Chains A and B, each alone.
Chain A
Amino acid sequence: MTNRFGLPDLGVGLGLRSVHYPHILAERPSVDWFEVLSENYMQTAGRPLYFLDAIAERYPVVLHGVSLSIGSTDPLDMAYLAELRALRDRTRARWVSDHLCWTGVAGKNTHDLLPLPYTEEGLRHVTARVRAVQDVLGAPLALENPSTYVEHAGASMREWEFLARLAEQADCAILLDVNNVFVSAYNHGFEPATYLAAIPFDRVVQFHVAGHTHHGTHIIDSHIGPVTDAVWRLLGEAYRRSGGASVLMEWDAEIPDFATTHAEALRAKEFIQVPSPSRS
Chain B
Amino acid sequence: MRRDVVEIETLRERASATPDPQGPRPRVGGPTPSRSVIGDDAGEDASLRSRQLRFTRGLMTPESSPGTLDEGSAARWLTPGPRLTALERFEIYRRGYHARLIECLSDDYPASRHALGEAPFDDLCRAYIARFPSTGPNLNPFGRHMADFLREQVPEPFPARAFAADIASLEWAIVEVIHAASEPPLSLESLEGVQADGWGAVRLEPTPALRLLRFGHPVNEYFRAFRHDESPAIPAPAPSAAVVYRSGPTVWRMDLNEPMMAVLSALVAGEPLGEALARAEGLLSHLEAAETATRVTTWFREWVGHGVFARARW
A interface residues with partner B (beta carbon < 8 Å) = 17-19, 21-22, 37-40, 42-48, 50-51, 65-67, 69, 72-73, 77, 80, 99, 102-114, 117, 119, 121-122, 125, 149-154, 187-189, 213, 215-218, 220-224, 250, 252-253
Contact = CB atoms under 8 A, between A and B. Distances in A.
A48 to B, nearest CB: 7
Contacts of B251: 47
Given A153-B75, A218-B92, A223-B18, A51 B49 contact: no
Contact of B12 (A18, A117, A189): A18
B193 interface: no
A39 B179 CA distance: 13
Contact of B48 (A121, A153, A224): A121
19 contacts: A18-B11, A37-B15, A47-B246, A47-B251, A50-B248, A51-B249, A69-B137, A80-B137, A102-B52, A107-B135, A109-B135, A110-B134, A111-B134, A152-B79, A153-B79, A154-B46, A218-B89, A223-B17, A224-B18
B195 interface: no
Given A77-B137, A117-B51, A43 B179 contact: yes
Given A114-B55, A215-B23, A50 B13 contact: no
B82 A104 contact: no
A105 B52 contact: yes
Give the dominant DSSP class at B's interface.
loop
A187 B77 contact: no
Interface residues of B, number: 69
Given A105-B53, A217-B84, A39 B138 contact: yes
B176 to A, nearest CB: 9
A6 to B, nearest CB: 27
A252 B17 contact: yes
A80 to B, nearest CB: 5
A270 B213 CA distance: 55
A188 B79 CA distance: 9
B47 interface: yes
B79 A46 contact: no
B137 A152 contact: no
